[in-house]
């Protein structure tokens, strides 16, 4: 077991300094620009960016991120300290804001500049072992690869950005619950029609804890204000998730959970926590049968990298999910028995639906 843990830790460790970069205003016009509105509980460090230290106060900024013309779907090729705008994801511009009021005002301007039917905000909450830059780059990459409409936002809590920082990260996310709640309320007050909440890994625990406390104080808030919840590779105890869901007055829809049986990071988490499965590698979806959720099994797309962010890193899977309207129509046909898209793809147990996605879906069309 010790050898297995050591091997996984070494695989997760990176050589690059993922906390430092430089602004490249000259990248304007080289790639595709995405503006990300950031609220963070990280404290500033000596580099001028944000490190792993926690802050009791939230800080706010907007960052313009350029996705290079050579971008490969699902991949973040970051130069960090030596970015090349032609090849790397690059920070083009930064604007810091004084307080939450300024943050809301900036968001309001961004939201109202969009067409009336396109005023959602997509809020991404990063996971374990993430630097500040990792989370911002991932937000921009998801917006770009999935061609998501609406305004991009990111909540950056104080991860240690180190594979041995698991306990620190778990404490940090619990400390950040009130700050995430305040950020969600700020986004709603800024005029977002709906908030689409996307969380990864340990960020899903922060997300669920926050939704639980919001609904205890204001029953139904999550259902009224969220246009969807997406949990990607959730590093979350299944029984804890059940208790969190039971305190929601109503479950936001859609509510999607991406799982993979090949997720090496969650295998490590299971060893650390002394349990057989986390929510993100759940083998028995019937344990979620009481809840109106959709479990998306992406095991067949999880490759040699460990499968801990398959939903955002597999080009084939992104291709399928990007034409979600077609795929949803195909699943509806399948459930009605009118077409056999994939035998056994859709399994329904009481209120929960499991969809086993396969590369066979590529190129297929609903009949």
Could you give the residue ranges of the DSSP H alpha helices within the chain?
Answer: 2-12, 100-112, 132-145, 166-175, 177-189, 203-217, 221-225, 238-246, 264-273, 310-313, 315-322, 324-335
Read off the tokens for 361. Answer: 């879906």
What does the pLDDT read at residue 265? 76
Q: Which residue has the tokens 């969809």?
A: 355
Q: What is the pLDDT of residue 14?
A: 46
Distances (CA, A) of 272 to 3, 133, 171, 225, 309: 13, 27, 15, 35, 20
What the block records as the tokens of 270 is 């299971």
pTM, rounded to two decimals: 0.87
Q: Does residue 346 sit in helix, strand or coil?
A: strand
Q: What is the pLDDT of residue 294?
A: 87
Backbone phi, psi, residue 83, to 5°: -75, 140
pLDDT given at position 19: 86
Q: Which residues contact 243 (CB under 8 A, 6 or more apart)?
A: none
* pLDDT reported for residue 298: 83
pLDDT tens, N- to C-terminus, the chain (367 residues) = 445 444 444 444 444 568 899 999 999 989 999 999 999 999 999 999 999 999 999 999 999 999 999 999 989 999 888 899 999 999 999 999 999 999 999 999 999 999 988 899 999 999 999 999 999 999 999 999 988 888 999 999 999 999 889 999 999 999 999 999 999 999 999 999 999 999 999 999 999 999 999 999 999 999 999 999 999 999 999 999 999 999 999 999 889 898 888 877 777 776 766 666 789 888 888 889 999 998 888 887 776 555 666 776 666 656 656 655 544 544 443 444 333 333 335 666 667 777 766 665 444 443 3
Q: How far is CA 234 from the centre of its chain?
A: 10
* Domain residue spans of the chain: 1-113+134-150+159-176, 194-367
User: What distance in Å separates the CA atoms of residue 232 and residue 139, rounded to the nearest whole number?
Assistant: 13
3-state secondary structure of 165: coil
pLDDT attached to residue 341:
34
What residues have CB less than 8 Å from 202, skipping those under 6 apart?
127, 128, 159, 169, 170, 173, 235
Q: What distance in Å separates the CA atoms of residue 300 and residue 54, rounded to the nearest whole number?
A: 38
Structure tokens at 362: 């590529």
Torsion 325-206-315-74 (CA) sign:
positive
- Three-class SS state of 117: helix
Phi, psi of 123 (to 5 degrees): -110, 120
Q: How far is CA 8 from CA 39, 201, 268, 290, in A?
A: 31, 16, 7, 34
């Amino acid at each position: 077991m010790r050898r297995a843990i050591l091997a996984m830790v070494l695989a997760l460790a990176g050589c690059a300094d993922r906390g430092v970069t430089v602004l490249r205003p000259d990248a304007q016009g080289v790639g595709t620009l995405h503006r990300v509105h950031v609220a963070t509980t990280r404290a500033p460090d000596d580099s001028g960016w944000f490190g792993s230290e926690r802050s009791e106060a939230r800080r706010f900024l907007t960052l313009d991120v350029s996705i290079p013309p050579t971008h490969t779907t699902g991949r973040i090729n970051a130069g960090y300290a030596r970015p090349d705008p032609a090849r790397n994801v690059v920070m083009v511009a930064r604007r810091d804001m004084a307080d939450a009021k300024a943050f809301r005002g900036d968001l309001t301007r961004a939201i109202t500049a969009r067409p009336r039917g396109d005023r959602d905000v997509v809020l991404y909450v990063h996971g374990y072992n993430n630097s500040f830059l990792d989370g911002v780059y991932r937000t921009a990459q998801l917006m770009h690869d999935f061609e998501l409409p609406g305004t991009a936002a990111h909540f950056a809590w104080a991860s240690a950005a180190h594979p041995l920082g698991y306990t620190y990260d778990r404490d940090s996310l619990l400390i950040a619950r009130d700050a995430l709640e305040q950020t969600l309320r700020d986004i709603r007050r800024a005029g977002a029609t709906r908030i689409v909440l996307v969380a990864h890994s340990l960020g899903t625990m922060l997300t669920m804890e926050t939704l639980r406390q919001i609904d205890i104080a204001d029953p139904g808030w999550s259902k009224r204000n969220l246009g969807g919840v997406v949990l990607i590779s959730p590093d979350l105890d299944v029984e804890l998730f059940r208790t969190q869901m039971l305190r929601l007055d109503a479950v936001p829809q859609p509510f999607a959970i991406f799982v993979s049986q090949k997720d090496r990071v969650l295998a490590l988490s299971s060893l650390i926590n002394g349990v057989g499965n986390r929510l993100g590698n759940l083998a028995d979806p019937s344990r979620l049968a009481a809840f109106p959720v959709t479990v998306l099994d992406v095991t067949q797309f999880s490759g040699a990298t460990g499968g801990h962010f398959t939903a955002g890193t597999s080009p084939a899977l992104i291709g399928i999910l990007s034409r979600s309207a077609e795929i949803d129509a195909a699943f509806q046909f399948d459930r009605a028995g009118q077409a056999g898209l994939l035998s056994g793809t859709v399994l329904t147990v009481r209120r929960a639906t499991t969809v086993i996605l396969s590369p066979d879906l590529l190129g297929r069309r609903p009949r």
